[in-house]
Structure 1
Amino acid sequence: MIKERNVALSAIFTVVTFGIYGIYWFICMTDEAIALSEDRGASGILAFIFNIITFGFYGWYWAYRMGDRLEMAKQRRGIAYSSTNNGVIYLILSVLGLGLISYIFIQLELNRFSAGKLNSRVSI
């Protein structure tokens, strides 16, 4: 369900294509995080449209919500060791104009789900 992406190549493709690949990456990450967290929210394409309409301000909200969604996905799988929500970090990076770094961190978390490292239930 979750596609593991090479983070370095994704970042390079985003820079080389002047952000075009970044749009695709944004949409995929959004859809995968929603599927993992079983959260209701704007699909990847709709989130991208909201980001355009709000001149990028929705992107800040999106970054924060991605932290929430990834945390929800961990909790749904019974991951007991993780209690940190990285949404604030993603938000700060985005506000500072370092959204690509947020993408990298979010994709690293998604890759952990795709590799099956977080899929097993941990009992307390």
Structure 2
Amino acid sequence: MTITKRSIVTSIILTFITFGFYGIYWGIKLADESVKVKDPNDSGFVEKILMVFVPFAGCYLAERKLSEGCEARGIRHADNSILYLVLGLFGYGLISWALMQNDLNQLAENPVMTYGNNHGAQPQNPPYQSTPDYNQPQYAPPVYDQYQQQYAPPVYEQPQQQNTPPSDNQQ
């Protein structure tokens, strides 16, 4: 998981110059990176769609997942989701995006966020195992010789006929 450090001023200027097209791209990247902090396997599809069509709701959900991911990793982060929701409802969504980008820029500088590769500190209680440990020994049930005969399938033998000579009493 990588968080790209972006210039907030450049992103705002590019949003105005491209008549909002860069803003759509920027919002999708904000949602994607915010969701990946909580769970690197989460695609963030709902947050991305909401960030394009209902930006205040997408920003709210993305910030919630960003806060939950930081909390799970032991990183101090203030949950600003309500602030972003209110700013978006009153038409200041670009400010909430700038604040969220500032949060992501701070996390990009934090060495704990490089969890999963060999750089930086590892969290004490990771919420997931980044790669499965395939080197663990496989479980094999113990073998007890004394029970093998007990549970072996029975062997049936044909009864033998006895050829006995007639006794003296029968004559």
The equivalent of 2:134 in structure 1 is none
Match of 1:105 among 99, 116, 130: 99
8 Å Cα contact 2:31-2:51 kept in structure 1: no
Q: What aligned pairs does 1:1-124 form with structure 2 within 5 A after superposition? A: 1-38=2-39, 41-42=44-45, 46-48=49-51, 51=53, 58-79=54-75, 81-82=76-77, 84-116=78-110, 119=113, 120=121, 121=123
User: Counterpart of 2:151?
Assistant: none
What is the deviation of 1:122?
A: 7.6
Classify 1:45/1:72 alpha carbon distance in 2 versus 1 (closer, same or farther; 3 Å): closer
Pick closer, same or farther for the CA change 1:26–1:75 going to 2, 3 Å.
same
Q: Between the two proteins, what is the percent identity of the paired residues? A: 31
The alpha-carbon deviation at position 117 of structure 1 amounts to 5.5
The code of the aligned residue for 1:94 comes to G
Contact 1:30/1:43 (8 A) holds in 2: no
Contact 1:33 1:69 in 2 (8 A): yes
- C-alpha distance in 1 between matches for 2:17 and 2:90: 21
Query: Which structure's CA Rg is the greater one?
Result: 2
Unpaired segments of 5 or more residues in structure 2? 114-120, 126-171
Matching residue of 2:142:
none
SS at match of 2:4: coil
Q: CA deviation at 1:26?
A: 0.7
Aligned residues: 114
Secondary structure, counterpart of 2:45 in structure 1: coil
AA partner of residue 22 (structure 1): G
Higher helix proportion (structure 1 or 2): 1
Task: Report the alpha carbon displacement of residue 40 of structure 1 after superposing the two structures with TM.
Answer: 6.4
**TM-score (ref. length: structure 2):** 0.58
Instruction: Provide the residue aligned with 1:55 in structure 2.
Output: none
TM-score of the aligned structures, taking structure 1 as reference length: 0.78
Q: Quick one: distance in 1 between partners of 2:17 and 2:97?
A: 16
Q: Could you tell me which runs of 5 or more consecutive residues in structure 1 were left unpaired when the two chains were aligned.
A: 52-57
Q: How far apart are 1:72 and its partner, in Å?
A: 1.1
